[in-house]
Amino acid sequence: MTSKDRRESHRVELLQGTLDLIVLRALSTMGPQHAYALTERLAQVADHSFTLNQGTLYPALVRLEQKGWIKGTWDKTESNRDAKFYAITKSGLRALEQQTARWRRLAGLVDKLLLNES
């Protein structure tokens, strides 16, 4: 593995948790969505402050599906196009709860640290 590889995998790892949480959250509030709709939603939530290569969503989706937290099924869109719709599962909802709580704790801790240091 070159040092470049390492840097990249490090970045993916950092993104991984957040991306998984965001996807789960989006699916739990919006109901079943296909990958394109999810990327649109992400851009919208982020207020277009970061651009996401839409392809990078796929590894996250397969990861979540393999963990049994989301489930994909093929269906038609409103425009009558084929698309794979992902829905959050029961264990996915439980995982979302845990992940959210964990994220909050972490964020709170980081916030506190940043406040104290400044």
Residues that bind other proteins (CB under 8 A): 34-36, 53-56, 58-60, 62-63, 66-69, 77, 79, 81-84, 91, 95
Cβ 87 to other proteins shortest distance, Å: 15
Cβ distance to other proteins smaller for residue 73 or 118: 73
Cβ distance to other proteins smaller for residue 26 or 95: 95
Cβ 20 to other proteins shortest distance, Å: 11
Cβ distance to other proteins smaller for residue 101 or 113: 101
Cβ distance to other proteins smaller for residue 27 or 69: 69
Handedness of CA 60, 91, 36, 82 (dihedral sign): positive
DSSP for the chain, please give it: --HHHHHHHHHHHHHHHHHHHHHHHHHHHH-SEEHHHHHHHHHHHTTTSS---GGGHHHHHHHHHHHTSEEEEEEE-TTS-EEEEEEE-HHHHHHHHHHHHHHHHHHHHHHHHHHHH-
Cβ 50 to other proteins shortest distance, Å: 13
Cβ 115 to other proteins shortest distance, Å: 34
